[in-house]
Amino acid sequence: MLVFIAQNYAEVSREAARMVAGAIRRRPDLRLGLASGSTQVGMYQELVRMHREEALDFSRVVTFNLDEYVGLPAEHPQSFHSFMFRNFFDHVNIPKKQIHIPEGTLRGNFDETCAHYEEAIRRAGGIDLQILGIGKDGHIGFNEPASSLASRMRVKTLTRRTIQDNRAGFASGEEMPRAAITMGIGTILEARRILLLGAGARKARAVALAVEGPVTASVTASALQLHRDATILVDRDAAANLRHKEYYQSALAMTRKLTPGRLW
């Protein structure tokens, strides 16, 4: 696990976009796993800028989003489908047929839907780079505390904390989704590379537990300690509780010197 501590959110966004762009330039048909959340907005804005000003080409990229609320139609402003098109897909040249977002409004068999989504990932050759955010309780995707570390894509009931954290985006009196369809931890760990973004003091405890705590289902992001190629990109506020910041900076400098390709 490589830990990159940026000065602020703007630098997190720039560095994340630089890493994604580098991966695309090395492999134009990159299989890219995406996350929808406020932390990723700055990265998407920078990628859009690079597309417009630096001719970053997304035409062969294939994307797979992590999750979606159960019960929200795609056109709902708070659906992750709407989030992704509003913040990213509407502004770059990824063909719609290459965009995959879980369907959360099906009335049929969700197990079958999840199996088909994972099969689509397999048919595409697997995910080359998975982008993640982190919840205040240390969850990734919608893999709430107590999720199996071997879990596959499935429907998860949301915790009261997640519901409260996400309620701000919904209109007063509007029913907040109580469940989501999400890639599982086992699914996420199959990505060849993982990039987790974190920003702000409210994420500091979760980041410290994920990076330096025990591997536990109580903090699902801690499973990334088991991944062969995970990068944690956080700002100084989100890194505040890390005990080994000096070592992480030294390790980053040595990685730049000895294996620059490791840094995208």
Q: Token digits for 22?
A: 């580098």
| Cross-strand pairs, 230 | 194
Decide the pairing of beta strands 154-157 and 67-69.
Answer: unpaired
Residue 179's DSSP bridge partners are 157
Report how far residue 82's alpha carbon sits from residue 225's, in angstroms, rounded to the nearest whole number.
Answer: 32
Residue 77 φ/ψ, nearest 5 degrees: -60, -20
Q: Are 206 and 134 in contact (CB under 8 A)?
A: yes
Beta bridge partners of 63: 32, 99
Tell me whether residue 26 is exposed, middle or buried, using C-beta atoms within 10 angstroms of its C-beta: 0 to 12, 13 to 18, 19 or more. exposed
Length of the chain: 264
- Could you give the residue numbers annotated as active site? 67, 137, 139, 144
